[in-house]
Each structure stands twice: as C-alpha cells, then as structure tokens.
C-alpha cells in the first residue's frame, strides 16, 4: 500500500496508466465535459467541501475533476470493497485529490476510509449505497449542522434513505439522483445490462448463446440484463415478486416462473433486486452441475454466499473472480464473490452512460449549493428530494449534442385532444436561466406551433418572475399565467392555489387544465428555481 498525507492507494506508480484511462473516459463523456466547462467559468461550488463514497472508477474521476473545476474541494473513498480501479485511485492521488481506496479492501479499511472522508467535514456528501450518510448519522451527528445536503446514486441507497426518513432519522436533505430519468433509465438499464454480462464473461469466458439465463428482478437493471442476454442468444427466464413487473417480463417475451422451478433449469443466475437472500441455499441445492451465479445488485446479500460457504464440501479459487463450490457432489461457480459482478470482475458501466449519471451528480451538488436556504429541513417535509425535470432534459440534450445526434421539435398542430406540456419555470434570475438555455429550451421544446405566439407571453412571465422570491408571489404569478392562458378550469385552479399554500417553495407541482374550444390539454409544471 502507498500512503501519503492525503491518500492511501495500492500503488502510486499506477498513476500513469490511470491518467491514460481517464483520458479515454473523458473522450466519451461529452455531456459531463460541457458541465465541467461551465463550472470552470462560473465556479458555483467555490470552497465547498464535497465528500464522496463512490466506486472509484475512471468515470468517477471525471466527476471529481468536474466538481473541482467548479471550485469544490473533494475527498473520496470507494463504496464497495471490490470496485476500486487502483490505477484510477493512483491518478487521483497524483492530481492532489484526497483519496483512500484500493481494490480488495478489508472491512476494517473500508470503514476507516469512510472515516477519513468524514474527518474532512464534508458540506455535501455523494453516496452510492448510503454508507456515508449512514455513518455520519450514526457516529458523527455533530457534523450534520455543517452539511448542506447529499446526493445518492443508486436504488438501494434510496431505499435506505426512505427508511431513515420514515423513522425521522434522516437529518439533512438528499437528492435521489437515481430517480433522474437520465440515470436509472440509462445507467441501470443500458449500463448494468452490458457491464453485468461483461463481468460474467471476464470472470468465466462462458458463451451466452444457448444458455438458460435466470434473471432475478425485472427492474431497470434486470430489464437491461435480460435484453442484452437475449441479444447474445441466451434463453432468458425472469423471476419477480412484483406482479406488474412479472407481467412486463412476460409481455416482453421472457419466460417468468418461480425461482424454485428456474433453479433446476438455469445455467447462469443473475440477481438484480436490491433484496436479501434472493438465491438461498435451497435453490443452490437444486441447481445443475457447473451452474454459474452472479450478483449485480448493490449489496453482496442477494446470493446467500455465507450459507453456500458453510454447506460446500470443497472450495477453490479457479481464477480471479471465479470461485468453485462443491455442493452435494455438484460444482457451482460464483463470480466476483457475490459482489457487484460488473465492478468486481469488469470495469463497471461504460463511460458514455456514466456521463449522464454523473451530470446528474454534478448538477445535484450545484442545485443543493445554490438553493441552500430553500432546502427542506429535518421535520419540515420530505428529505429525499428530486431534481427539477428541466435538469433531466438538459442532461439528455447535452449528451445528444455530444453524440452528434439531432432530433425534432414538435411543430405540427396537435390533433384531437393530444396532450402537450407547457412548463412554466419560475426563476429568480431570469438572465442566468436564459443564458444557460434552461428557460428558453423549456419553452421551445414544450410549445407546439399552435401556441408559438404565447412563447413571448411566457417569456414575459419569466421576466415578471424575476421578482419572485416566495410562495406568496408564486400564487400571484400563477394568476397572471391563468389570465394570459385564457380559460382555466376554476376549480382545479383553486385546488392548485390551495395546495400552493402548504408547499415549500421547493416542491414541484403540476396543474392540468382544459382549454374549452381548444384542442389541447395544458399541463403547467411550476418549479421555483434559484430562489434566494
């Protein structure tokens, strides 16, 4: 291990290779680079201490560079003992980032390193799995008063945050970055879909074609894995506990059955549920000789490895990240020790998909810092918050531009009662929003030509909203909007205004109304941004 004042990594000499990998990642993370360019100019995170517990991969390093370009000071450790890329950790240390991580960390080191990040007294936390938030709340509650907020990357972390929130135990607001469309519908789906199979292939080099692959869990990750496995020629079987998801799997053309039945048929088993003991010893006992097991869910609790270890009559490491267990005379192979196989045995998600995920992280940190005063306080509303929809759209747009993809705008007049959306984005600093393309884009995309003449009206509205600082003003503004838009259904307006009075300026709300005699349904999405 190489240790310096502010780092502990496997081998600092790996930095040269790490820097090359960062260069490769950067070339495929166009959207994040755009955010970085703006951050470098505007320095929205000047002097903010950001503590991170994220997989230390080349893509995460580009996020670190982005946050630093915005003026943040960063300290980072891993969020899984097997996911750190040692060359990347070394490169970060070389760049002067506080970094404590190595691949294959002991449990003791894992928590010691989290402690180092906590000792840095972060003002914003970024987590993948909620360990940092959890450690701070359990062992260092005194630090919470300095913390503006946190950002959570993954489904399992968000489940843990909601559980804390339910117990009134979550004491600072956390952005559920995973809930961005540009995160879970891309990263979990395309990223986990591809990299999970990549991990299994690197660990075992099996041929997927012709294999019966059992995918446990048909969420965003399970859908991605099923689709990619099918693409490789596998016969995919899905197991689910949720009726709707099971139905989706069946309608997507996969066989759906109980794991008790699938256990006898499968050649490969992949868990992606976020749940515990999904594959229990009783299932393993039913499996065929040479069946392969892998997990790509966040924690290594989805396959009951402890029970397998105990029951096995022999165990061998066959090659890196592939262990053989002899159970009842049959050989079972476990990839990546039952930890996230895509990060343990491969490199995690490809850079392109992490580009949009990490735009979400970078913009979430900016959102927290810029809106510090308006964020929910403990006991004062939901503490797990989502980013305004406009940010998600902005990320998709940035990535499309980076990929050189152009797409259409809605121009044709709506037919019949085709619904369309008008997003009224209320901003305190209109010039800033327009300069950043935020408000303009929202208007331009949302309005079909039939309402094109109203664009200027909305722009006027935005100018009016320059003065908006509080919910009371928002109410007045909505009334203006109503007059400008014409006939708005009075009772639904009333409901909206009523709900406004109980909303914090931070909440998003939607308002649907009809234009009698007009063809369209209008959905007004109001969100207050940059309220200072």
Ligand X SMILES: NC(=O)c1ccc[n+]([C@@H]2O[C@H](COP(=O)([O-])OP(=O)(O)OC[C@H]3O[C@@H](n4cnc5c(N)ncnc54)[C@H](O)[C@@H]3O)[C@@H](O)[C@H]2O)c1
Q: Which residues bind ligand X (CB under 6 A)?
A: 154-156, 184, 188, 192, 216-222, 239-242, 245, 272-275, 278, 296-298, 340, 342, 348
Closest CB to ligand X among residues 49, 283: 283
φ and ψ at residue 338, rounded to 5 degrees:
80, 5
Separation CA 117–CA 97 (nearest Å):
12
Q: How far is the CB of 268 from ligand X (least distance, A)?
A: 16
Closest CB to ligand X among residues 216, 332: 216
Measured CA distances, 127 to 14, 26, 115, 308, 442 (Å): 25, 22, 14, 30, 30
Within 7-81, strands assigned E span 7-9, 49-53, 73-77
Structure tokens at 453: 């003449």
CB burial string 306-318: b at 16+ within 10 A, e below: eebeeebeeeeee
Closest CB to ligand X among residues 51, 191: 191
Q: How far is the CB of 244 from ligand X (least distance, A)?
A: 8
CB burial string 121-150: b at 16+ within 10 A, e below: ebbbbbbbbbbbbbbbbeeeeebeeebbbb
Closest CB to ligand X among residues 351, 371: 351
Closest CB to ligand X among residues 258, 406: 258
Separation CA 32–CA 6 (nearest Å):
26
Pairing of strands 7-9, 2-4: antiparallel
Closest CB to ligand X among residues 150, 274: 274
Q: How far is the CB of 30 from ligand X (least distance, A)?
A: 21
Q: How far is the CB of 340 from ligand X (least distance, A)?
A: 4
Closest CB to ligand X among residues 188, 371: 188
Q: How far is the CB of 152 from ligand X (least distance, A)?
A: 10
Within 35-82, strands assigned E span 49-53, 73-77
φ and ψ at residue 291, rounded to 5 degrees:
-60, 145
End-to-end CA distance of the chain: 47
Q: How far is the CB of 439 from ligand X (least distance, A)?
A: 31
Whether the CB-CB separation of 151 and 128 falls below 8 Å is answered with no
Q: How far is the CB of 155 from ligand X (least distance, A)?
A: 4
Closest CB to ligand X among residues 207, 241: 241
Pairing of strands 322-327, 330-335: antiparallel
Q: How far is the CB of 5 from ligand X (least distance, A)?
A: 32
Separation CA 456–CA 475 (nearest Å):
21
């Amino acid at each position: 291990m190489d240790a310096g004042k502010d780092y502990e990594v496997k081998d600092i000499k790996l930095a040269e290779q790490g820097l090359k990998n960062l260069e490769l990642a950067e070339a495929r993370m166009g959207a994040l680079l755009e955010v970085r360019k703006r951050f470098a100019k505007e320095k929205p995170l000047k002097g903010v201490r950001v503590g991170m517990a994220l997989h230390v991969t080349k893509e995460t390093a580009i996020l670190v560079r982005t946050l630093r370009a915005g003026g943040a000071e960063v300290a980072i450790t891993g969020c899984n003992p097997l996911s750190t890329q040692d060359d990347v950790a070394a490169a970060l240390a070389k760049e002067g980032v506080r970094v404590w991580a190595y691949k294959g960390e002991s449990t003791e080191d894992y928590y010691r390193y989290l402690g180092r990040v906590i000792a840095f007294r972060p003002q914003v936390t970024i987590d993948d799995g909620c360990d940092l938030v959890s450690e701070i709340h359990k062992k260092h509650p005194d630090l919470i008063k300095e913390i503006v907020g946190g950002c959570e990357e993954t489904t399992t972390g968000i489940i843990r945050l909601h559980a804390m929130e339910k117990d009134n135990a979550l004491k600072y607001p956390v952005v559920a970055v995973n809930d961005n469309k540009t995160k879970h519908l891309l990263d979990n789906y395309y990223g986990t879909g591809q990299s999970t199979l990549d991990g299994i292939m690197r660990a075992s080099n099996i041929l997927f074609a012709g294999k019966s692959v059992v995918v446990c869990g048909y969420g965003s990750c399970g859908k991605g894995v099923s689709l990619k496995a099918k693409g490789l020629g596998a016969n995919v079987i899905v197991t689910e506990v949720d009726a709707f998801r099971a139905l989706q799997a069946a309608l997507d053309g996969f066989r759906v059955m109980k794991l008790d039945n699938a256990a006898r048929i499968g050649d490969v088993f992949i868990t992606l549920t976020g749940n515990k003991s999904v594959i229990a010893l009783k299932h393993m006992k039913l499996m065929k000789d040479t069946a392969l097991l892998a997990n790509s869910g966040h924690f290594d609790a989805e396959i009951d490895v402890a029970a397998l270890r105990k029951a096995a009559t022999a165990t061998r490491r066959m090659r890196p990240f592939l262990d053989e267990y002899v159970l009842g005379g049959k050989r079972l192979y476990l990839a990546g020790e039952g930890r996230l196989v895509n990060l343990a045995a491969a490199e995690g998600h490809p850079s392109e998909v992490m580009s949009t995920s990490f735009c979400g992280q970078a913009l979430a940190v900016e959102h927290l810092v810029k809106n510090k005063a308006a964020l929910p306080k403990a006991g004062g509303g939901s503490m797990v918050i989502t980013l305004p929809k406009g940010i998600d759209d902005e990320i998709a747009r940035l990535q499309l531009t980076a990929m050189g993809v152009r797409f259409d705008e809605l121009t044709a007049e709506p037919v019949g009662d085709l619904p369309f959306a008008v997003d009224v984005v209320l901003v305190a600093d209109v010039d800033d929003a327009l300069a950043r393309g935020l408000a303009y884009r929202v208007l331009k995309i949302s309005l079909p030509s039939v309402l094109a003449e109203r664009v200027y009206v909305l722009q006027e509205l935005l100018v009016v909203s320059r003065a908006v600082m509080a919910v009371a003003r928002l109410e007045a503004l909505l009334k203006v909007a109503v007059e400008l838009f014409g006939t708005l259904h009075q009772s639904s307006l009333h409901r909206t205004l009523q709900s406004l009075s109980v909303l914090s300026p931070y909440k998003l709300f939607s308002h649907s109304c009809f234009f009698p005699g007009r063809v369209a349904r209008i959905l007004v999405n109001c969100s207050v941004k940059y309220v200072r």
